[in-house]
Structure 1
C-alpha cells in the first residue's frame, strides 16, 4: 500500500507539472507577436479573406524573369569545362511543404517536362533551348546514381571534418563526369549503361584528384609557381578523407571509433589520392565514415562483368553537371530548408557564388509559426524520437527559456536587431539559433530574424516569399506559373494543372450535363494533405 500511494503521488506531481507548463506556455504564446504581424498583407483585407485572392495576387505581383546565362564556377575560358553552380535554393522553412514543392518543381521542369525528351543526348543546348532543373547526385558502390535534394553543404548542420564548406567547392561539385562518346549529363539519365559500366566510370572519375578551378585560374592568370602561388594552390591537390581514407589519414585517431567498428584496429596503408568528393570502399576495410554512410561494400557486386574479383569501389558524395559555355541550359537546385536560419550558410552562399551571387534565387515558404513548430516537434519527438520531451508545450517552454538566457536583451527587444551591424546579427544567430538545425522549434519559426539577416547579403527581388496557407489554396497552374516566372525555368503547356503540383485535396461529384456528357462539380473548399 505505501508503494501504491507513492506512485499515485508521483503521477499527481507529473500531471500538476504538465498543467503548470501548459499555463506558462500559454502566457508565452499570448505575449508572442501574431503571425500576421510578420507578413506583409499589402493592407488588403480581401487578400486575407477572399478564397481566390492568393492566386490573383501572385499572378499580378510576380514578374517574369529574363533568362540568364548558366552560372559556371571559375571557368578558365568559354571552351573549358567548368562545374555549374547551384543557383536555385529553398533555404527555409522546414515543415512548410518544402519537400512537396521540391517534388513539384522537379516534375514540372524536368528535361522531359520542358520538351527535351527522356534521353541525355537530347539535353544539350543545341537540341534543347528550354531551361530545365536538376539536382546534385550521389552514387552508391553498386553504381546507382540518386538525387540529392538537401545538400547541407553550405550549412544547416554542425560542420565536420569530412564534408564541409570550402571555398574551392570541390566537395560540392565533384569530379568532371565527362566520358568520351557520352553526353555531359549521362549520370542524370537513369537508363544510361549498366551498373558494372557505371562503377568503372566512377573509378575513372574518382581515382585521381586535380587542383580546384580557383587554383587553375590563379595559375593561368598569375603564372605563379609553387613558391609564389597562394598556399592552397602551392600545395598538392587535395585528397578525399571519406570512406577508407578516413582510416588512412595521418590523424587516424580522430576516426578510430568508426574504423574499429568496421574491423580496423590500426591505421590502414594509404591507397593514394583521389577526388575529395569521392568515397572509396573495399572488402575487409572500414566501409562507413562520418556523414557518408551510403558507400558500403557488398559481396553481391564483388565480381565485375568479366568474372574478376573487384578489389575496390568508388562512390561520389556529390556530383554537379560540368559544361562549356552555352553547352547546357540548366538550373541546379539545392533545397536544404535549414540554410536561412544559419548565419554561416547565408554568408557561404554569397561567398561561394564566385562573384555571381546576384544570380541566386531563393524560394521561401512561411507557415503559421506555431503550427510549423508543432509539426517539427511531432516529427522529431513522436516520429524520430530525437527529442526526448513528449509534451509540445513543455518542449517549447524549454527552448524559449534557453533563447531568453542566450541573450535576454534581444529576447525582450528584438526590434534592436534591424539596427545592428550584419556581423552582430550573425553572432546572435550563431549563439542562439544553433545553425538552423533540427529541433530548434522557436528560432526556426522566427522568420523575421532569419530574413533580416539573409537580406543583408541578397536583394529582396532574389526571394520569392510564399505563405504555406496560401500555397495550399492555389491551383497547380498558378503554382507552376509562379515558379516559372520567378526562376526562368521553361513552362510547357502540357504541365498546366499537373496533379503533382496540386496541393489541395478536392472532392468531386460527377453529374450529367444537359447534353448527357459527364462533368465534374467541386464540393467545398480544398483541404491540405499536410
Structure 2
C-alpha cells in the first residue's frame, strides 16, 4: 500500500531524481528478476543459533571481563597501546605548541544499528563532569594536571545565540554529498577557542554548558556586596542579557568577522603543508600504519600508491594557496561577496572557514543550522552574529587526557572517508573503530521506514518497490559484481575503493541494500587499518548485554578510564542498559511484539501497518541476496556472524489493527504537514520584516549621506566666504 505524499521539500526532490532515473533507464526491475531462485537464504537459519554468549569466571586473572556475560568473539579484544602523546593532535610542530585535536575514536557504521543509543551511553558515562569521571562541573578542573582519568569529548557547534551543541555526526571525512573536506581541516577544527580575549581561559571553557556559565557570570556581577542591595529579577535579567551579548562578541572575535582579510585565524592552514614537508623529509609515505595481513603484497603497494597520490594532492593544494590573501568562510555572508556592508553593521569581512556569519538584514545568509533569532536584535541589539560550524580544542601535548570522538555512521561505506582518516593521522595505528551490524534485512527495512514514513525524505512508501529501485541502480552500477559478488574479495584496493565509492554513493542516506552489504566496506577498511583496531559487534548481541558488560567492553577497547566506581555509576544511571530504556508505549495497532518498555531507541520499523507483510513478501528474496555478502563478512573479520529469520519478522496485524495504524499514520502526516506550513509561514514573515528593516537602513544611510553632503557644501561655502572677506561672511 502507498500513502499520500505532500509536494515540495526534500522528499519531492528525491521523487524527481527517482523519476528522472526511471525515464533514463526504464524503471526498476522486479525483485524476482533481480534476485533469481527460490527458498530462504542459507545464512539466515532459525535452527542454528548464532554464536552463544559466554559467562567469564569471576577471577582476577580474567581482568576487565571477569564475571561478565559476553559474546565469545569479543573475549580477545585488545586495549590500545600507551602512547607518548595522550591526545591526537593535528601535526604539531612541538610538544609545547597548541595544535587542534582530531578524532581518534569512531563509530563509522552502520546506520540504524543503535549508534545513537551507544553514543548517548558513552557520553553519559565518560563526560568529564560525569559522576564516574568526577572531575567537577567547571572546565578549569578538566586539565590533565587535575583530572588524570581519560574521558570522552565531542566537537561542538553553536547557534546564533552562542548556545553550544555536541556534534555526534560531523560528516567531515565523508559519508555525504556535501563537501566539508578541503585538505586542511579548517572546517573541522575551527578557530582556536583560546584566542583574543579568551587567551587565558581553560582549554575547554566552551565545552561547559552555555546557560550555566552565563548564569554564573551574571550572579557574580550581581553579588550584593557589589550592588549594595539584593538584586531584583530585573537586575538578573539585564545582567544575563549582558553576559549573553558578551559571549556572542567573544565568538565573533574567535571567528574573525572583521574587515581585516589578513586575519591570521582565517588564513589558509599551514599545517597541511608542514605535513607534506615532514613526510618528504622523513622519506616515508606509510606513516607507520598498515592493514595487517590484508595489506601485504599487492594491497600494501596499493596503499602506498594511494598515500603518495594523496601527498601529491596535498602538495598541489599547498602550492596553489601559498599566494592567497586568505581563505574565508564560504557560507552565510561569505556566499554574498557582492554585499560590501552588513545592513545596520560593519563591512562584510572575512570569517574563519569553520564559522558561519549571518545578518538580520540578509536573509540569504541564513541556513537551517544557523537561523536568525528575533531576540538577537529585540533583546541584545545585534544586527549580525556568528555560528561556529565545528570547533575542537587546541592544546599542547600534555594539557588534556581525552579521546575526541566522531560517530558518523556513514564513513565505513565511503572509501574516501576511510582513506582520509588514515592519511590524516601521523600514526594510522592510533584510530579505533566500533562497528555494529544488524540483521541486514531488518536494518534496510528500518532505514526505509525512517526516511519514507517518519521523515518523508523518500517518496516511495512501498518497501518492495523501494528495494527494487535501489537494487536496480546497484545492478546498473556494476552488473558483473552484482551477479558475482564473491569477486569483490579478489579486487585490488583501487578497484575495490572505486566500487564502494560509486555503487554505495559515498555511504550516504537511503542506500538501503548497500548499507546492509557490510563485507565490501569492511574489506576496504581492512586494507588501511589493522583488525585489532576494530570492535565488531552484532546488534542483537549488544541488545542482550548488561550495562556493566557494555561499559567494561567499550572502556577496555577504547582506552577510556575504567574502574569499579565508574561502572557502578553507569549501571545506576541506566542509559547503558538496553533492556531498561525508557520508552513510551507503542501506538495503537503497532505490530511490536516487545512490550511497551522494551522498544529500541530511534526505532521506526513499527511505523508501517504493513511491516509484517513487506518483510514476509520481500524478506526471503533479500535473504538470498545478502547470503554471499554475509559469507564474505565472516571471512573478512574472522567471526562467525549469523542471523536468524526471526530477527526480521513482525507480528501480522488483523484488519482492525491495520486500519487503526493507517489512521494514526495519516493523522501524524497531516500534523507534520501543518507544522511545516506554520514554520514556513513564520519564516516568510520574518524574512519580509527583516527585508523591510534592511531597506529602511539603506534609506537612512542614503538620507544621512545627503545630509552629510549638504553639510560639506555649507562648510565649503563658509570657508570660501572667509577667504573673500568678513562682510560677505556676515551676509
Does 1:300 find its partner at 2:393?
A: no
- Tell me the SS of whatever aligns to 1:118: coil
**Contact 1:172–1:319 (CA<8 Å) still a contact in 2?**
yes
Distance 1:76 1:249, change over 3 A: farther
2:109 paired residue number:
92
Query: Matches of residues 240-251 of structure 1 in structure 2 within 5 Å?
Result: 240-248=329-337
- Give distance in 2, aligned partners of 1:29 and 1:273: 63
Query: Matches of residues 169-318 of structure 1 in structure 2 within 5 Å?
Result: 169-178=185-194, 179-190=198-209, 191-193=212-214, 194-207=243-256, 208=263, 209-214=266-271, 217=274, 230-248=319-337, 271-288=348-365, 293-302=368-377, 309-318=381-390
- Give distance in 1, aligned partners of 2:54 and 2:32: 35
- Give distance in 2, aligned partners of 1:189 and 1:29: 58
- Tell me the SS of whatever aligns to 1:239: coil
1:181 Cα deviation from its structure 2 partner: 3.4
- Give distance in 1, aligned partners of 2:540 and 2:92: 42
RMSD: 3.4
1:503 is aligned, of 578, 597, 609, to: 578
Query: Matches of residues 116-515 of structure 1 in structure 2 within 5 Å?
Result: 116-160=135-179, 164-178=180-194, 179-190=198-209, 191-193=212-214, 194-207=243-256, 208=263, 209-214=266-271, 217=274, 230-248=319-337, 271-288=348-365, 293-302=368-377, 309-353=381-425, 355-496=426-567, 497=571, 498-505=573-580
- Tell me the SS of whatever aligns to 2:127: coil
Which structure shows the higher strand fraction?
Answer: 1
1:139 Cα deviation from its structure 2 partner: 0.5
1:111 is aligned, of 115, 128, 133, to: 128
2:94 paired residue number:
77
1:188 Cα deviation from its structure 2 partner: 0.5
**Contact 1:73–1:213 (CA<8 Å) still a contact in 2?**
no
- Give distance in 2, aligned partners of 1:220 and 1:376: 44
1:15 paired residue number:
none
- Tell me the SS of whatever aligns to 1:327: coil
- Give distance in 1, aligned partners of 2:512 and 2:275: 44
- Give distance in 1, aligned partners of 2:440 and 2:108: 16
**Contact 1:186–1:192 (CA<8 Å) still a contact in 2?**
no
- Give distance in 1, aligned partners of 2:102 and 2:357: 25
Distance 1:219 1:467, change over 3 A: closer
1:217 Cα deviation from its structure 2 partner: 3.9
- Give distance in 2, aligned partners of 1:483 and 1:472: 14
- Give distance in 1, aligned partners of 2:172 and 2:37: 35
- Give distance in 2, aligned partners of 1:297 and 1:435: 32
- Give distance in 1, aligned partners of 2:338 and 2:493: 38
1:189 Cα deviation from its structure 2 partner: 0.3
> Could you tell me the TM-score, scaled by structure 2's length?
0.58
Does 1:65 find its partner at 2:154?
A: no
Q: CA deviation digits over 1:354-402, x for unaligned, max 9?
A: x232211111000000000000010011111122221112211221122
User: Larger C-alpha radius of gyration, 1 or 2?
Assistant: 2
Distance 1:448 1:119, change over 3 A: same
- Give distance in 2, aligned partners of 1:198 and 1:459: 44
**Contact 2:34–2:472 (CA<8 Å) still a contact in 1?**
no
**Contact 2:109–2:436 (CA<8 Å) still a contact in 1?**
yes
Structure 2 gap ranges (5+): 1-28, 57-68, 215-242, 257-262, 281-317, 583-594, 604-731
| Greater mean deviation of Cα atoms: 465-474 or 237-246 | 237-246
1:168 Cα deviation from its structure 2 partner: 0.8
- Give distance in 1, aligned partners of 2:74 and 2:505: 37
Which structure shows the higher helix fraction?
Answer: 2
1:34 is aligned, of 43, 46, 52, to: 43
> Could you tell me the TM-score, scaled by structure 1's length?
0.79
1:348 Cα deviation from its structure 2 partner: 1.6
Structure 1 gap ranges (5+): 1-19, 37-44, 223-228, 253-262, 508-523
- Give distance in 2, aligned partners of 1:349 and 1:30: 41
- Give distance in 2, aligned partners of 1:233 and 1:326: 31
- Give distance in 1, aligned partners of 2:435 and 2:535: 6
- Give distance in 1, aligned partners of 2:467 and 2:535: 29
- Give distance in 1, aligned partners of 2:530 and 2:277: 33
**Contact 2:51–2:72 (CA<8 Å) still a contact in 1?**
no
Distance 1:28 1:278, change over 3 A: farther
1:35 Cα deviation from its structure 2 partner: 5.6
1:232 Cα deviation from its structure 2 partner: 2.3
**Contact 1:25–1:394 (CA<8 Å) still a contact in 2?**
no
- Tell me the SS of whatever aligns to 2:104: strand
- Give distance in 1, aligned partners of 2:206 and 2:365: 24
- Give distance in 2, aligned partners of 1:243 and 1:106: 31
